[in-house]
């Protein structure tokens, strides 16, 4: 065989070795040298396949290929299942697949196998055996998908050298056994004390707790000061008790769940949540770290992006002018996943996709799949198409360690490697902790209905503590009576805590306090004109040598004079936004703004980031202007709604003094984040006492673009609006937008609430929504805007049309308006909280009113109508009838044809101004008294 005929994955390595030998025969070890002595380079004839020493060159290559296969596919032969199911294996792991026998391998030099194992092995056989003990043990190293050579080499060295896996001394062995005992006894105590009560026990993946200990302590030693831990139900109580130091007494009191222990505070809209969704934070640093666990809903994995966003916020410095500075070393996010949920829930893929994006990276998230081999009753075959539950992570270049949960040392080694890798590369890492589930899905569930064989095995399977204790006693590492004495110690500790529980009321967590009434209405948001001019000039300052795009340059020129005349309608939407943001930054409030294409703006109106026309270099004026006293960050988001809204929610609740704004491409797409809205944004206060203040900008309005680009579905926010949990506004002027943003920033600490702003599309540049500089200076946000024209003739007004948003512009710009001197058109700018006082005042100004109309462009079952109707009826009482004008009920938000849209809009206007006239053309617009 000639040298150029070699094939196989490791031929390259053998050839490299050979080249080294050719350059300097002394550079390879004697056995390898002997083998190479008979080789002939390509093109030279007469090379035998057998060396003088009797070594077949094909066997040399075969040995190298075998070594590579063990490294790549060894995990397929690893004994990962504590219940003993055999590994799938792989033919490439046997010498025969490479034309080798054990005897052949003994003839070959260990250096063919390469790496640390070769250094202490006498021959290739020994070296391969050592590799097998590493790669086919109770740990499966799954990192062949890592393409960056430096990372892959680091992982290989870590796995093979033992350098990162310090041996455990007697003291650490005892400490680990003590910890596992605590974990197990806690579950057994709850099981005995509260039989049948749901707790989603950790049993079967008990090592989760010591793994978390190792990661948290390791990361703390490496300088991290905060860990954010996200997990679902499984093992949560155990982790709360042992990792977040939630007192046993508190947990036990909550288990009793007596009515007396709850204070029903309906005035706050407080509902609370079940105990295995509750969050916590360590009261004092554990070691050097604070640990936070956000509350989470039942929706599996939904908390992932929330925790990642929290970690990002905690690691971000934003108290200075310019960009925000993120340091991933400060905060470690740790996500604990389920083996069915990880592959099944799309939010996981969306979250993993954030991991390397500049605006979203955390400096490495550590993932642990608490893999109990079942999802409720579903098996792996039912649940994922990948080979492992962790398969998805491969595509994101995340190293994976599968580890048998019954091998405590292997588990701790995996944890060690995880934080070391994160510390070294600032990248994600995944531990697939393969265990089992000792009970049913919950403790009242019967698992042998669906998994009879598996549960027969589990019934006689000892716990990890029992197995390890037995091994340690047999080896003489610990005294024989230690395991039982530890069990007794922890049982009696729990028993005495339970026996001496104080009255339950003492364990009721503090409820969120209510903001002072009227805080929003009292907020002053006007900014002196001189100040606005100063800021505007600073924002328009051109840095030396920056070439603007010619079209944008014209817009900038117009901006220069936008504040010249206080009563000119010269402030468009984008100018109002930029000035609002600049004033907020000048007040010292940092801003984070994200969304799809948010830097330019979907409708090409924002241009928060300019790009030099000749070099592409970016320029962000809001980071440059000298008056800023806080950081501005803006990022185009990936094409996601669910994860990015979750992320911004997490960022917001972690750093509530920063203004966090998320913009949807079109308002419709917010329904992709419906889980985040329902589970976190609108109910987080009632369930968990969270006080989010995230801002949503949702383009909304009927412009003939069809069912998918018309509606931000305000009805869904209104359905979720209760007590005080959000503000929903639909501004019709640039000044209103300016003031509502400034109001939100001013209320971040005093009265935080999520703010949903229905924003314009075609109206962004429409003269009807433009405002005067005076309105920015003197105004404030108005929840209702009366009809200024009609007020002069209030006595002759017999119809008040109430509407919200863009349809107002359709009404007042129509030629029907002039002829309808009896009609006032008033705008409801804030839909929630319902502006009762302001509306009452407006209606009170029109004594001759004979009917009040709610007019909307959305179908009757959408928009604000069904929310408004009972409130308006109560407000109007018996003053006059209430009338509805709008599209008829429909399952789709709007018509698909632009022509039909125009007809319907026209009919809305006609009906508004002349109720006596029957519809002249067939349309879906209804006008009816209710």
Ligand X SMILES: Cc1ncc(C[n+]2csc(CCOP(=O)(O)OP(=O)(O)O)c2C)c(N)n1
Q: Which residues bind ligand X (CB under 6 A)?
A: 234, 298-300, 338-341, 345, 370, 372, 374-376, 441
Cα 10 to Cα 33, 70, 115, 855: the distances in Å are 18, 12, 14, 74
In the complex with ligand X, the residue whose CB is nearer, 363 or 375, is: 375
Q: At closest approach, how far in Å is the CB of 383 from ligand X?
A: 7
In the complex with ligand X, the residue whose CB is nearer, 464 or 728, is: 464
Q: At closest approach, how far in Å is the CB of 655 from ligand X?
A: 28
In the complex with ligand X, the residue whose CB is nearer, 128 or 370, is: 370
In the complex with ligand X, the residue whose CB is nearer, 21 or 186, is: 186
β-bridge pairing 290-293 and 280-281 = antiparallel
Cα 563 to Cα 166, 526, 575, 578, 854: the distances in Å are 68, 14, 10, 13, 36
Half-sphere exposure of 747 (CA within 13 A, CB side): 29
Structure tokens at 503: 């009255």
Q: At closest approach, how far in Å is the CB of 260 from ligand X?
A: 30
Q: At closest approach, how far in Å is the CB of 370 from ligand X?
A: 6
Q: At closest approach, how far in Å is the CB of 445 from ligand X?
A: 10
Could you give the CA distance from residue 894 to residue 531 in angstroms, rounded to a whole number? 44
Residue written as token pair 């007809």:
903
Residue closest to ligand X, measured at CB: 338
Nearest to 142 by CA among 156, 130, 128: 156
Q: At closest approach, how far in Å is the CB of 126 from ligand X?
A: 40
- 395 cis-preceded (ω within 30 degrees of 0): no
Is residue 376 helix, strand or coil?
coil
In the complex with ligand X, the residue whose CB is nearer, 384 or 696, is: 384
Could you give the CA distance from residue 6 to residue 40 in angstroms, rounded to a whole number? 13
CA 276 to centroid of chain Cα atoms: 20
Strand partners for 851: 799
Q: Where are the beta strands (DSSP E) in 664-769?
A: 695-699, 727-730, 755-759
Q: At closest approach, how far in Å is the CB of 554 from ligand X?
A: 50
Q: At closest approach, how far in Å is the CB of 204 from ligand X?
A: 9
Is residue 47 helix, strand or coil?
coil
In the complex with ligand X, the residue whose CB is nearer, 298 or 485, is: 298
Q: At closest approach, how far in Å is the CB of 351 from ligand X?
A: 14
The packing angle between helices 642-654 and 303-314, to 10°, is 40
Q: At closest approach, how far in Å is the CB of 342 from ligand X?
A: 7
In the complex with ligand X, the residue whose CB is nearer, 340 or 745, is: 340
In the complex with ligand X, the residue whose CB is nearer, 434 or 785, is: 434
Q: At closest approach, how far in Å is the CB of 376 from ligand X?
A: 4
Could you give the CA distance from residue 786 to residue 351 in angstroms, rounded to a whole number? 45
Structure tokens at 58: 């094909």
Strand order in the sheet with 695-699: 632-636, 591-595, 659-663, 695-699, 755-759, 727-730, 830-832
Nearest to 914 by CA among 901, 925, 924: 925
In the complex with ligand X, the residue whose CB is nearer, 239 or 755, is: 239
Could you give the CA distance from residue 207 to residue 372 in angstroms, rounded to a whole number? 12
In the complex with ligand X, the residue whose CB is nearer, 232 or 670, is: 232
List alpha helices for 835-897, DSSP H: 836-844, 865-876
Could you give the CA distance from residue 716 to residue 710 in angstroms, rounded to a whole number? 15
**Angle at alpha carbon of residue 750, lines to 747 and 755, rounded to 5°:** 35
In the complex with ligand X, the residue whose CB is nearer, 338 or 650, is: 338
Q: At closest approach, how far in Å is the CB of 341 from ligand X?
A: 3
Strand partners for 371: 434
In the complex with ligand X, the residue whose CB is nearer, 318 or 374, is: 374
In the complex with ligand X, the residue whose CB is nearer, 374 or 838, is: 374
Asked whether the beta carbons of 282 and 590 are under 8 A apart, the reply is no
């Amino acid at each position: 065989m000639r040298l150029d005929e070699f094939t196989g994955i490791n031929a390259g390595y053998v050839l490299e070795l050979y080249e080294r030998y050719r350059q300097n025969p002394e550079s390879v070890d004697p056995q390898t040298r002997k083998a190479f002595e008979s080789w002939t380079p390509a093109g030279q004839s007469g090379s035998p396949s057998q060396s003088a020493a009797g070594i077949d060159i094909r066997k040399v290559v075969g040995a190298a290929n075998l070594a590579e296969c063990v490294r790549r596919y060894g995990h397929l032969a690893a004994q990962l299942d504590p219940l003993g199911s055999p590994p799938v294996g792989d033919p490439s792991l046997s010498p025969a697949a490479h034309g080798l026998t054990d005897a052949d391998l003994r003839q070959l030099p260990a250096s063919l196998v390469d790496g640390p194992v070769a250094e202490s092995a006498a021959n290739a056989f020994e070296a391969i055996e050592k590799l097998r003990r590493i790669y086919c043990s109770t740990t499966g190293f799954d990192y062949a998908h890592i393409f960056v050579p430096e990372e892959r080499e680091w992982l290989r060295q870590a796995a093979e050298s033992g350098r990162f896996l310090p041996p455990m001394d007697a003291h650490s062995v005892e400490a680990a056994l003590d910890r596992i005992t605590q974990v197990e006894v806690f579950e057994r105590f709850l099981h005995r004390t509260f039989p049948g009560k749901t707790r989603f026990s950790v049993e079967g993946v008990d090592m989760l707790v010591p793994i978390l200990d190792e990661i948290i302590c390791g990361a703390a030693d490496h300088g991290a000061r905060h860990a954010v831990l996200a997990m679902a139900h499984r093992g949560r109580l155990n982790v709360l008790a042992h990792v977040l130091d939630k007192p046993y007494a508190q947990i036990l009191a909550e288990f009793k769940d007596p009515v007396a222990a709850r204070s029903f505070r309906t005035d706050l809209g407080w509902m609370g949540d079940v105990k295995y969704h509750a969050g916590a934070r360590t009261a004092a640093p554990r070691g050097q770290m604070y640990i936070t666990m956000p509350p989470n809903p039942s929706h599996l994995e939904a908390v992932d992006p929330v925790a990642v966003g929290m970690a990002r916020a905690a690691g971000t410095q934003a108290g200075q002018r310019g960009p925000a500075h993120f340091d991933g070393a400060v905060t470690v996010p740790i996500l604990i996943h389920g083996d069915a949920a990880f592959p099944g829930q799309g939010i996981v893929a969306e979250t993993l996709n954030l991991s390397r994006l500049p605006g979203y990276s955390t400096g490495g998230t550590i993932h642990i799949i608490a893999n109990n081999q079942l999802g409720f009753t579903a098996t792996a075959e039912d649940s994922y198409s990948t080979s492992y539950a962790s398969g998805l992570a491969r595509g994101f270049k995340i190293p994976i360690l599968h580890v048998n949960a019954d091998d405590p040392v292997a588990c701790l080694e995996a944890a060690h490697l995880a934080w070391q890798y994160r510390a070294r590369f600032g990248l994600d890492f995944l531990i697939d902790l393969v265990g089992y589930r000792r009970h049913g899905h919950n403790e009242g569930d019967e698992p042998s209905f669906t998994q009879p064989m598996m549960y027969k095995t589990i019934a006689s399977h000892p716990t990890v503590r029992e197995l390890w204790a037995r091994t340690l006693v047999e080896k003489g590492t610990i005294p024989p009576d230690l395991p039982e004495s530890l069990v007794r110690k922890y049982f009696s500790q729990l028993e005495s805590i339970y026996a001496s529980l104080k009255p339950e009321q003492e364990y009721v967590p503090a409820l969120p306090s209510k903001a002072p009434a009227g805080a929003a209405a009292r907020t002053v948001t006007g900014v002196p004109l001189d100040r606005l001019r100063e800021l505007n000039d600073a924002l328009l300052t051109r840095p030396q040598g920056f070439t603007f795009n010619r079209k944008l340059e014209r817009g900038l020129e117009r901006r220069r004079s936008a504040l010249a005349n206080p009563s000119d309608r010269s402030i468009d939407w984008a100018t109002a936004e930029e000035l609002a943001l600049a004033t907020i930054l000048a007040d010292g409030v940092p801003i984070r703004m994200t969304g799809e294409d948010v830097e330019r703006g979907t409708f090409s109106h924002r241009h928060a980031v300019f790009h030099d026309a000749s070099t592409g270099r970016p320029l962000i004026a809001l980071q440059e202007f000298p008056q800023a006293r806080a950081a501005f960050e803006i990022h185009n988001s990936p094409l996601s709604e669910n994860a990015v809204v979750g992320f911004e929610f997490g960022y917001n609740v972690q750093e509530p003094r920063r203004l966090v704004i998320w913009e949807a491409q079109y308002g419709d797409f917010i329904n992709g984040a419906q889980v985040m809205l329902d589970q976190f944004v609108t109910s987080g206060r009632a369930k968990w006492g969270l006080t989010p203040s995230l801002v949503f900008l949702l383009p909304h309005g009927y412009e003939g673009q069809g069912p998918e680009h018309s509606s931000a579905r305000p009805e869904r926010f209104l359905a979720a609006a209760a007590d005080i949990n959000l503000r929903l506004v639909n501004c019709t002027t640039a000044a209103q937008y300016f003031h509502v943003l400034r109001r939100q920033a001013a209320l971040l600490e005093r009265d935080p609430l999520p703010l949903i702003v229905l924003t314009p599309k075609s109206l962004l540049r429409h003269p009807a929504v433009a405002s005067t500089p005076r309105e920015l200076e003197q105004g404030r946000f108005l929840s209702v805007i009366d009809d200024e024209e009609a007020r002069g003739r209030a006595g002759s007004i017999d119809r008040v049309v109430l509407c919200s948003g863009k349809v107002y512009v359709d009404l007042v710009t129509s030629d029907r308006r002039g002829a309808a001197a009896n009609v006032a058109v008033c705008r409801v700018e804030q839909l929630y909280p319902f502006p009762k006082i302001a509306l009452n005042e407006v209606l009170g100004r029109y004594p001759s009113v004979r009917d009040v109309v709610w007019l909307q462009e959305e179908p009757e079952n959408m928009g604000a109508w069904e929310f408004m109707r009972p409130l308006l009826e109560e407000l109007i009482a018996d003053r006059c009838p209430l009338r509805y004008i709008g599209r008829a009920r429909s399952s789709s938000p709007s018509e698909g044809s632009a022509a039909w849209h125009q007809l319907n809009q026209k009919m809305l206007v006609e009906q508004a101004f002349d109720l006596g006239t029957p519809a002249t053309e067939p349309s879906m617009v209804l006008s009816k008294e209710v």
